[in-house]
A and B are shown apart, each in its own frame.
Chain A
């Protein structure tokens, strides 16, 4: 009879389901104690390759900083001058044999995770790799003051500099993550970008590599024999999401424990409202701006038809209500920078003189230079040409896309027609480098010190590299040189930097929109969280989850 057959079928299905549910509901008893804990980090990006000199990404740096050690690391104060504020890592101590000779003594306890000892040969090899043009690391230019790196014995390395300058120690240690020579020597340098090592790296850091599921996650496990102290968190997993918004959603849904930046004010609001999360504000290292192209697109010998005119640029800066824009996009989690500065830089000074927001003055300036709305269409024109330009930005940044739309309207009210060129990231970079744009919405992640980044972006040293807009003012160059040279003397350096920035502000090569204050969100059960602004996970090995706050996820034994 159909009914009893049906009933029997249903019963079997129900029974099977019940069995599965019961079987799956076993609670693994697993790990207990002070050295358990699993941290899941939701990340809006994925590393390309886990080989430090080859990759440019911040997320790669986050992961490789747990796998590889530097000679010494920046202290919490962020001071990059001299060597007193640096913490020993691979090098247990160092001394100056001569004003330009730096000798490191490596810690004999350091081991690669395949058992080999870390030797000075590794350091020399790393220096050679970082300065090799075939590898083409972005850190190469910061190492240009180092003449040679030699080994005195298996645990002693000697750095010889070409000259003495205040941040020489920082340059020597900050960029290079020491690599295992015995594993990478055989790999041809021009194939490093696709080397197998980069997908299964072997390091000497507090964590060792476990697995990388492309598009999904990377897992690291703590090295219990790490010579600087066993990391408390047994496992760290990065979970990749298509963008930051989804990452935050996963955090709030409880699928992740930590996120580096919440980015937007409502994300922070959501995180704060969540009783399981703790928020950690820290100084951001990023600043964003509209950069004008002072040269003609595609032809650097001629000035830009619009932006070659200093008055026009100044008018546009004055027409922008930067405070209101900031409040819309980033709320209280950023500040309007007084120039091309990030909050991380010690030269940050709200007193630096800059162009004010004054739409009336902007309008008068535009009219005085001949831009008037002669045909009544709402857009200013001069000699038959409308005041119109295209703003270039990448589709990958939600913040910049929002700014772009707000700016469009601000400029339209001022009588300027702006069209948006939202392109994919690689095309954006290509056009930025080639100078094929009118204006672009750009951000920079700055280093801990302005000495290398600022000249790269705002002086002729950056032509063809980071100085996309082709800005060149000899006065600014002079002042920057003076500032870098006098870095040891704080006051003198500060005055020189201030003068440089103020001169630059008067030229208005860009509209400096925001300097981020980051807010990280981490699950409340993680304690002893210290975040260093230049690299938020730098002190990850000191974070811990107390034994009484372990969750199921932490206890899983694998």
Chain B
């Protein structure tokens, strides 16, 4: 069993390296691409992300045990060993297998929630920036209210006060509480872009507001959206982890990195591995996302000087 585990680990790492190398080669031809890879941590971040995405996608192959399988409940909390790479948790489930399957859930929730937030935020920001006047005023007041409420408070209230919450509802909620910053960003971009000639030209040619926004304005505003998106995934993952820690996130027995920390918290003194490794995984992935996001910001915005 363990030989296979090491093999798949190695395989995933090699695959990730290959992906990064290929990306680097392809992007060398464009200026933003070169700027991206000038960051020392950008390549590392990409590697980490590629690695985790690979093992998440190939979970049934990589994980030696099924994620729900309680191997020997009479003897839980086994330390890391040759057989159990990262040990077993208080329910005698293999931590490494759950980490791998948990990657699917955590990364999935983070990405989907970010997509929700980005969509709503972009829509609101674009409408607000394009139409201005009272539309802008009302929407931005709404955004102010949203930014004023501490996010976790709102989420706690929403999740705790309804009886049982489906996973998709959780994703939606996390996304819907996180779009306010993006909308401000997009609004700023749209405000400046709408004065440009190509917008005036499009309008002169009879394009409706929607068409102008979608075909002309937004593509040029894409850069900050993408950057905030990359950073946003990390924030959503941290939020899901916090909710799971308080007992309100992904329901058992499905593994998520957040509820793995929650499962092992009370046993930290005797079995530190159950909570430490998922936390480390979150840290690494979020760090990678931050690094990639930073590099993207520099790469896509030629006005900024790389520090």
Q: CB–CB under 8 A between A and B in the complex?
A: yes
Given A408-B253, A412-B68, A421-B164 in contact, is the A328-B266 Cβ separation under 8 Å? no
The 8 A CB mask of B34-71 against A (1 = contact, 0 = none) is 00000000000000000000000000000000001110
The answer to whether A422 touches B247 (Cβ under 8 A) is yes
Cβ B163 vs Cβ A427 within 8 A: yes
Interface assignment of A348: CB less than 8 Å from any CB of chain B:
no
State whether A424 touches B160 (Cβ < 8 A): yes
Query: Which B residues are in CB contact (< 8 Å) with A419?
Result: 164, 251
State whether B163 touches A409 (Cβ < 8 A): no
Confirm or deny: B245 has a beta carbon within 8 angstroms of a beta carbon on chain A. no
Given A266-B269, A412-B68: A406 in contact with B251 (beta carbons within 8 A): no
User: Smallest distance from the beta carbon of B72 to chain A beta carbons, Å?
Assistant: 9
With contacts A325-B73, A328-B92, A402-B91 taken as known, whether A421 is within 8 angstroms of B163 at the C-beta atoms is yes
Q: Which residues of A contact B267 (CB under 8 A)?
A: 266
Chain B positions 236-290 with a Cβ under 8 Å from a chain A Cβ = 247, 251-253, 263, 265-267, 269-270
Closest A residue to B160 by CB, please name it. Answer: A424
- Provided the pairs A419-B251, A420-B251, A421-B164 are in contact, do residues A406 and B70 lie with their beta carbons within 8 angstroms? yes
Cβ 8 A contact of A408, one of B77, B163, B252: B252
Please, how many angstroms separate the alpha-carbon atoms of A245 and B91 in the complex?
Answer: 18
Assembly CA distance A171 to B213 (angstroms): 79
Tell me if A324 counts as interface (CB < 8 A to partner B): yes
**Interface size of B by Cβ–Cβ distance < 8 Å?**
23
Instruction: Evaluate contact between B73 and A270: CB separation under 8 angstroms.
Output: no
The smallest beta-carbon distance between A225 and chain B, in angstroms, is: 44
Query: Which residues of the other chain, A, contact B90 by a CB distance below 8 angstroms?
Result: 328, 402
Determine whether A12 belongs to the interface, using a CB cutoff of 8 Å to chain B. Answer: no
Q: Residues of B contacting A423 with CB < 8 Å?
A: 163-164
A404 touches B74 (CB 8 A): no
Q: Judge if A549 is at the interface, Cβ distance under 8 Å.
A: no
Give residues of chain A (394-419) contacting chain B, Cβ–Cβ below 8 Å: 395, 398, 402, 404-406, 408-409, 412, 419
A328 close to B76 (CB less than 8 A): yes
What separation, in Å, do the CA atoms of A266 and B268 have in the docked complex?
10
> Smallest CB-CB separation from B163: which chain A residue?
A423
Rounded to whole Å, the gap between the CB of A440 and the closest CB of chain B is 14
B91 touches A324 (CB 8 A): no
CA distance A398 to B73 in the complex (A): 17
B74 and A406 within 8 A (CB): no
B67 CB, nearest partner CB in chain A, Å: 11
A269 to B267, CA, bound (A): 12
Contacts of A420 in B (CB 8 A): 251-252
Cα–Cα, bound, A406→B89 (Å): 12
Q: Check if B91 sits within 8 Å of A405, measured CB to CB.
A: yes
Indicate which residue in B77, B247, B265, B266 contacts A395 across the interface (CB closer than 8 Å): B247
Give B136-165 interface residues, CB cut-off 8 Å to A.
160, 163-164
Is A490 interfacial (CB-CB < 8 Å)? no
Q: Which residues of A lie under 8 Å from residue B270 when comparing CB positions?
A: 266, 269-270
| Bound: A395/B163 CA distance, A | 12
With beta carbons under 8 angstroms apart, the residue of A249, A328, A395, A409 that contacts B253 is A409
A422 to B243, CA, bound (A): 14
A524: Cβ under 8 A from any B Cβ:
no
Which of chain B's residues have a CB closer than 8 A to the CB of A269? 270
Give min CB distance, B70 to chain A, whole Å.
5
- Asked if A327 is an interface residue, CB under 8 A from chain B, the answer is yes
Count chain A CB atoms within 10 A of each CB in B68, B73, B74, B247 and give the residue with the most: B73
Q: Which residue of B lies closest to A398 (CB)?
A: B266
**A424 partner residues in chain B, CB cutoff 8 A:** 160
CB distance from B239 to the nearest CB of A (A): 19
Complex: how many Å from CA A421 to CA B252? 10
For the complex formed, measure the closest distance between the CB of A451 and the CB atoms of chain B, giving whole angstroms.
36
Inter-chain CA distance A66–B244, complex, in Å, is 40
Bound form: Cα–Cα A328–B76 in Å:
7
- Nearest-CB distance from B98 to chain A (Å)? 12
Known pairs A266-B269, A270-B269; A404 contacts B160 (CB<8 A): no
Bitwise interface map of B from 77 to 109 toward A, beta carbon under 8 Å scored 1, else 0: 100000000000011100000000000000000
Q: Which residues of A contact B263 (CB under 8 A)?
A: 405
B245 to chain A, nearest CB (A): 12
**Which of chain A's residues has its CB closest to B270's CB?**
A266
Name the distance in Å between B126's Cβ and chain A's nearest Cβ: 40
Complex CA gap A113/B214 in Å reads 79
**Nearest CB to that of A409 among chain B residues?**
B70
What is the CA–CA distance of A423 and B162 in the complex, to the nearest angstrom?
Answer: 9
| B73–A328 CB distance below 8 A | yes
Per-residue CB proximity of A170-199 to B under 8 Å, as 1/0? 000000000000000000000000000000
Contact of A324 among B74, B247, B269 (CB under 8 A): B74
Among A266, A269, A270, find the residue whose CB has the most chain B CB atoms closer than 10 A. Answer: A266
Partner of B73, one of A324, A390, A412, A427: A324
What separation, in Å, do the CA atoms of A427 and B263 have in the docked complex?
Answer: 23
Chain B residue contacts of A421, Cβ below 8 A: 163-164
CB contact under 8 A between A328 and B269, given known A404-B252, A409-B68, A409-B91: no
Segment 143-167 of A: residues with Cβ below 8 Å from B: none
Binary contact readout A240-278 vs B (1 if CB under 8 angstroms, 0 otherwise): 000001000100000000000000101001100000000
Given contacts A270-B269, A328-B92, A421-B163, contact A406 B252 (CB under 8 A): no
What CA separation (Å) do A8 and B106 show in the bound complex? 54
For residue B247, which residues in chain A have a CB less than 8 angstroms away from its CB? 395, 422
Neighbouring A residues of B252 by C-beta, 8 Å: 404-405, 408, 420
Cβ of A406 and Cβ of B91 under 8 Å apart?
yes
Against B, the Cβ 8 Å flags (1 = close, 0 = not) of A316-328 are 0000000011011
Contacting pair B74 A327 (CB below 8 A): yes
In Å, the complex CA distance between A427 and B162 comes to 10
A406 & B163 in contact (Cβ 8 Å cutoff) = no
Q: In the complex, A404 Cα to B77 Cα: how many Å?
A: 18
Q: Are A406 and B266 in contact (CB under 8 A)?
A: no
Chain B hits for A427, CB < 8 A: 163
Are the CB atoms of A328 and B68 closer together than 8 Å?
no
Q: Which residue of B lies closest to A249 (CB)?
A: B269
Chain A 413-449, CB within 8 Å of chain B: the 1/0 string? 0000001111110010000000000000000000000
B189 to chain A, nearest CB (A): 43
Contacts of B163 in A (CB 8 A): 421, 423, 427
A395 to B251, CA, bound (A): 12
Name which residue of chain B comes closest to A420, CB basis: B252
Contacts of A422 in B (CB 8 A): 247, 251
In the assembled complex, which residues on chain A have CB atoms less than 8 Å from the CB atom of B76? 328
- Roughly how many angstroms separate A409 CA and B66 CA in the complex, as a whole number? 12
CA distance A184 to B163 in the complex (A): 40
The reply to whether B160 and A328 form a contact with Cβ atoms under 8 Å apart is: no
Nearest-Cβ distance from residue B90 to partner chain A, whole angstroms: 7
Question: Chain A residues near B251 (CB, 8 Å)?
Answer: 419-420, 422
Which B residues are CB-close (under 8 A) to A245?
265-266
Q: How far is the CA of A254 from the CA of B269 in the complex (A)?
A: 16
* 11 contacting pairs across A/B (C-beta < 8 A): A266-B270, A270-B270, A324-B74, A327-B73, A405-B91, A405-B252, A406-B70, A406-B73, A406-B91, A409-B68, A422-B251
Q: Interface of A with B (CB < 8 Å)?
A: 245, 249, 264, 266, 269-270, 324-325, 327-328, 390, 395, 398, 402, 404-406, 408-409, 412, 419-424, 427
Q: Give me 16 other A-B pairs in contact (C-beta within 8 A), A266-B77, A324-B74, A328-B91 excluded.
A: A269-B270, A328-B73, A395-B247, A402-B90, A404-B252, A405-B252, A406-B70, A406-B73, A408-B252, A409-B68, A409-B70, A419-B164, A420-B252, A421-B163, A422-B247, A422-B251
Sorted nearest first, the 3 A-B pairs with minimum C-beta distance are A328-B73, A266-B270, A245-B266
